Amino acid sequence: MYKIEAIVREEKYEDVKNALNAIEVHGITVSQVMGCGIQKGYVEHVRGTNVDVNMLPKIKFEIVVSTEEWAEKTVDVISKTACTGNFGDGKIFVYEVKDAVRIRTGQRGQEAIY
């Protein structure tokens, strides 16, 4: 099993969600997060003073899939959908998952994520 964490621009949320649904990836967790990277944020003028805003709002998708093939397919769809070609498009991280447990039934492993 593999966990994919994708951090994307806020405006790409609906596009990525719909693209994942189109390839039948339905089990997702979504969070609003703040972050910074090469994009560096922006300068805002507040009450006559310039303020550096370094932490920018982003959307974080967390998805667990059963196989490496599904992980690659998921990463590919997110990459293509979230890309604008500009700094700040985001990052995708892929982790191996040792186990999963469905709390309601006690099912483990791949049975727990379907």
Instruction: Supply the DSSP string of 43-111, one letter for each residue.
Output: EEEETTEEEEE--EEEEEEEEEESSHHHHHHHHHHHHHHH--SSTT-EEEEEEE----B-TTT--BTHH
Q: What is the mean pLDDT of the chain?
A: 92
- Write the pLDDT tens digit of every residue in 43-59: 777 777 777 777 789 99
Distance CA 24, CA 111 (A): 17
When divided into structural domains, the chain yields a total of 1
Look up the pTM and report it.
0.86
Distance CA 47, CA 58 (A): 26
Distance CA 37, CA 23 (A): 30
Confidence bin at 35 (pLDDT 50/70/90): confident
Domain that includes residue 86, residue range: 2-113
Give yes or no for residue 4 having a pLDDT over 90.
yes
Q: Is 25 helix (H, G, I), strand (E, B) or coil?
A: coil
- Which tokens belong to 70? 């599904």
- Which tokens belong to 15? 């596009």
Give yes or no for residue 41 having a pLDDT over 80.
no
Give yes or no for residue 111 having a pLDDT over 70.
yes
Q: Is 11 helix (H, G, I), strand (E, B) or coil?
A: helix
Confidence bin at 77 (pLDDT 50/70/90): very high
Q: What is the CATH number of the domain that holds 91?
A: 3.30.70.120
